[in-house]
A = this chain, B = another copy of it.
Amino acid sequence: MSPITATYRVDAEASDVAHVAQAIALEQSVELPLAAVHDTYVAERIVARVAGIRSREDGRHDVAIELAAETTGGDVAQLVNMLFGNSSLHAHVALVDVAWPADFLAGFAGPRHGAAGLRQALGAGARPLTCAALKPQGLTVERLAALAYTLAAAGIDVVKDDHGLADQAYSPFAARVEACQRAIDRAAADTGHRALYAPSVVGSPRRAAAQAQVARAAGAGALLLAPALLGLPAFAELVRDDVDVPVIAHPAFGGATRIAHPLLLGTLFRMLGADAVIFPHSAGRFAFAEATCREIAARARAPLGAFTPMLPVPAGGLQVEGVAAALEFYGDDVMLLIGGSLLIEPERVRERAARFVAAVRDASVAPEASPPRPSIAGSAA
């Protein structure tokens, strides 16, 4: 099997970087000094190798290290371990990129539905999609369901739980998901526009699997999952074993800044099965650089193994007024997520949500002739 090439960004003096690079190679493979490696197979096949060092203009160095794919044992947790287990503890080392051999990538499922599957579930063509959130947590099931109706009736494509909605006493998961899905169904019957509802599944693995089962039974057409919160291995297993609808990945707890965000959100989330990925748009309340946002979107769509593209979902403080600029930045193959700013005036939520839907339609780079078409989202799986 060809090696995996991981790139680490290293803070070190130029005179010291070769030494640091070799230390990373040992730390991420045998975790021993070379002098203590006495076995020929280990020395030749398991010890990681420094493949290159490139000095950057900012004074740091990008160190490319070839890791033996065999060390991962075909497991997500162990892959993360080999990529950044011990080196994550070194404050001068960040993991910024990984080049995957094709035979290694073939061991991952990637998105089951991807951007195309989400569009198909919505009966949407190539136009940009819209997404809004049920929030704040603390509202009763009835109020959340009423909000779901309002947003769906306004023409929003994906109505998702706020990622803060879990299984709290004030809106228990099962009751909430059932009520919100029924509200979405009613909106579809009343308006002809069928939104996808994406409940937020958050919990330890067995609890999350049980929640996914409840969501499926209720007919929810998508799921919101935060891979970094669940743990990357648990996320991958849940998507593989317990989910069949499109998965929208949320970045919560993904702020381990020493894994570059494009790698974590744009590549790893996709490899592990996300169909769409929410991330902070540069023009919002999280200070993500434009270049970072562009790179996340590019990685979501770029050829990678045999994986279908994942849909970028910029969010995090987006406003209706910013829709046109966002679409110019990301193009049409995107879903825009506006959360709180739709909810400022309780009696005008539907109007604001409809304005959002219209703004996306009007600003679309390649506008469709028709408004969002109804479809049978419940059968998307």
| CB <8 Å contact, B81 and A166 | yes
> What separation, in Å, do the CA atoms of A212 and B262 have in the docked complex?
34
| CB <8 Å contact, B77 and A229 | yes
- Tell me the smallest distance from the CB of A232 to a CB of chain B, in Å: 7
> What separation, in Å, do the CA atoms of A80 and B252 have in the docked complex?
9
- Which B residue sits closest to A201, measured CB to CB? B77
A286 contacts chain B at the CB level, 8 A cutoff? yes
Oligomer: number of copies: 2
A54 contacts chain B at the CB level, 8 A cutoff? no
Interface residues of A in 72-102 (CB under 8 A from B): 72-78, 80-82, 84-92
| CB <8 Å contact, A37 and B84 | no
Chain B positions within 8 Å of A37 at CB level? 136
A322 contacts chain B at the CB level, 8 A cutoff? no
Interface residues of A in 258-279 (CB under 8 A from B): 258
Contact bitstring A210-250, B, C-beta under 8 A = 1, else 0? 00000000000000001011111111110001000000000
Stretch at the interface among A24-32, A110-118, A122-130, A152-160: A24-32
| CB <8 Å contact, A234 and B205 | yes
Chain B positions within 8 Å of A166 at CB level? 71-73, 75, 77-78, 81
A323 contacts chain B at the CB level, 8 A cutoff? no
A167 contacts chain B at the CB level, 8 A cutoff? yes
| CB <8 Å contact, A241 and B206 | yes
A339 contacts chain B at the CB level, 8 A cutoff? yes
The listed residue with most B CB atoms (<10 A of its CB), out of A36, A75, A91, A257, is: A36
> What separation, in Å, do the CA atoms of A344 and B287 have in the docked complex?
47
Query: Which of B91, B233, B256 is in CB contact (< 8 Å) with A287?
Result: B91
- Tell me the smallest distance from the CB of A171 to a CB of chain B, in Å: 9
